[in-house]
Chains A and B, each alone.
Chain A
Amino acid sequence: DAKTTQPPSMDCAEGRAANLPCNHSTISGNEYVYWYRQIHSQGPQYIIHGLKNNETNEMASLIITEDRKSSTLILPHATLRDTAVYYCIVRAPNSGGSNYKLTFGKGTLLTVNP
């Protein structure tokens, strides 16, 4: 799996948009970008994923650059409950059990302040 680089921490005001960047300059053409988050003392929670088009769901939006070397996760209206460590992971398509062996980096600790 390609490696990713994320800032160790970020702060965001409640109600504002939180933009979390991720660099994945060595991503392969068939690898997806996945985002998970982990609230303190809980298991990771899936947020969103994409290949090359921008994606949006009820939790967040994912913006992937045209060269696919970086992406940004956007939480449009951050709340205090969004305080968590956010992990950006790249992995190959679902073509075998080994492709589900996620490699977690250190992620970004997002702190949403009142």
Chain B
Amino acid sequence: GAVVSQHPSRVICKSGTSVKIECRSLDFQATTMFWYRQFPKQSLMLMATSNEGSKATYEQGVEKDKFLINHASLTLSTLTVTSAHPEDSSFYICSAIEAGELFFGEGSRLTVL
């Protein structure tokens, strides 16, 4: 199947700093990617839809100024958590569409101290 890769897989940062997470489609082009967040022992929650060359579409309750999404190329979407706080600590997962199916990245675990 198609490969979606995330980087970094783990990141620890101090409160107040910004963290960027990358999502790449390695062997296909993805005009649309999705970003999910998963808190411990909970299910995945969709945060936003990332569209290449246009603004992301955010789900209700997700602050677009806090979670900046950039999809500047057909193989890369980035999620930047700005002014991170401990409550932003979570598992962030991206997915991309290839040949009519969804493929997920390995996830990025963010810990904010």
Interface residues of A (CB under 8 A from B): 36, 38, 41-46, 87, 94, 97, 100-107
For A105, the closest partner residue in chain B by CB is B43
Checking A45, A103, A105, A106 against B104 with a beta-carbon cut-off of 8 angstroms, the contacting residue is A45
Give B residues with C-beta under 8 Å from A. 1, 4, 6, 32, 34, 36, 42-46, 49, 51, 91, 93, 95, 97, 100-107, 109
Q: Report which of A41, A104, A105 forms a contact with B91, defined as CB distance below 8 A.
A: A41
Q: Is the interface of A mostly helix, strand, loop or mixed?
A: loop
Q: Is the CB of B102 within 8 A of A46?
A: yes
> Across the interface, do A43 and B105 meet the contact criterion of CB distance under 8 Å?
yes
Apart from A43-B106, A44-B93, A104-B36, list 4 A-B contacts with CB within 8 A: A97-B49, A100-B97, A101-B49, A102-B95
From residue B88, how far is it (CB to closest CB) to chain A in Å? Answer: 18
Q: Is the CB of B44 within 8 A of A104?
A: yes
- Cβ contacts under 8 Å, B107 to chain A: 41-43
Contact among A43, A94, A97 for B93, CB-based, below 8 A: A43
> In the complex, what distance in Å separates the CA atom of A100 from the CA atom of B93?
15
A101-B46, A104-B43 given; A42·B102 CB < 8 A: no
Chain A, Cβ-Cβ closest to B105 = A43
Complex CA distance for A41 and B92, rounded to whole angstroms: 10
Q: Which residues from B are CB-within-8-Å of A94?
A: 100
Query: Please, which residues of chain B bring their CB within 8 A of the CB of A101?
Result: 34, 46, 49
Which of B42, B44, B49, B105: most chain A CB closer than 10 A?
A: B44
